[in-house]
Structure 1
Amino acid sequence: MSAEAAAPSGPVQSIGRALGLLEHLADAGQPLGLSELAALCRIPVSTTHRMLGGLCQAGYLYKGSDRRYRLGPRLVALGGAAMLPIAPDVSTWLARLVEATGETANAATLCGDTVLFVAQVQSSQAMRSSTEVHRRTMAHCSAVGKALLSLLADDEVTALASRTGLARSTSHTVGSVSELVAAVRVVRRQGFALDDEEEEYGARCVAVPVPSAPFPLAVSVAGPSARVTRERVPALAAELHRVIS
């Protein structure tokens, strides 16, 4: 089958393009204009304009007086509906983790090939780990990412890594697909994932998957490596399991 024959077309292509517009706006973190979105999505300006109009009419986007587009209120309702089955549990888990460990607690899910942070409760300590809710990160270099990958089969982990690549954030980041698969197997065996200064120097994070969640979900505690020492990791992992059980 040729590449042209295999390429999505018709309604499937339109859905993909519409979702692409939403994704690019979310990733940008700021309003974008028509030409900017057309360039990012690599689709004609006329097609982009038509699709943006439909998304605005449905409430998924909002066009401001500056003629730039923003994510619309309909997405808030969809996001809330997606989190509804587990949102009360997540809020309780994170609050308890911060109280028990003194470190920042996060919840994240696998969104496509990347990790999306969906909730956070920050530590009250002056020196603390912090990330933006709705920020995305790569799965291979984060504890929550490796915890989420542990829910996949080895061939799925390999395929994901082949699509995204394995960019090194620090000298500790895994550098090959075989190394990543081996690390994920360790997570499955020991029941928790560790980011040992793999995403950022001076920071360490422990995460566990939540098998009972209705979608891929992991929770974590993170903090400065001076406080989140390697010796402390087993106790933090045990606390994570205790809280979500």
Structure 2
Amino acid sequence: MFLADPTLRLIAATTNDVLPEQLWRYDTGTEDAVGDLARILHKTALAYNASCAELDKPHPRPSSGLRAAGTGEAMSAVLATVDRHAACERHNVIAGGLLDLYQAWRRHRPINDGDERHLLLRPRDPGYGVATLQRTSHNVWMVTADPEAADAFEVPYPNRMVGVLYESPWEWWLPVACTDAAHLAAASGPVYRLPVRDDFVTACRSLLRWWALRHSAAWQSRTPDQLTPTELDQLAA
């Protein structure tokens, strides 16, 4: 899963930024304002992840010494509830501080502007997984889906190529579904040209929706040109 780190998952869900790792750590060694910010952000990320781990524990936490000897089960339950409420409040405070620090650091560091980009397949919803785009030529991007995306879209290709996107200077994207770049080069094998999309996120979803259809009983050996208008619309859903 691409966003296994709770900090990165929170950032993606809140800002739509998908980071492959905690990139601010590379700034923690610099002796300037950005370095100071990165060091505070790093410590806050550690605190946030620790808080997530604490809240995920199946058993109530100790009540920080508040539980007296001989306390009955009812009082123990009350104290456990108080503990949980306090932990949740602390967690929310840490999360808010983390996001503020990230936004401040982000103003100094561009992301997703190179030859490799990561995006949520549903904006601000990490539950649908991440697509990675790698530029292979001036206007061609290879698309792979992480395991969470493959599971969410019911596609049997985790961490594998699901197609390419052709970027147009007129700001539209042509998705072509394939699982092997050699098939594109040789113009052979399973290669499917899908409808043009207005943005690359929708184009990526079209690739995954196509493969989900391709591996379902509804496919019936059809090409994209043979789909019904409703099915074509569903590719972008």
Q: Same fold (TM over 0.5)?
A: no
Larger Rg: 2
TM-score normalized with structure 2 length: 0.33
TM-score calculated relative to the size of structure 1: 0.32
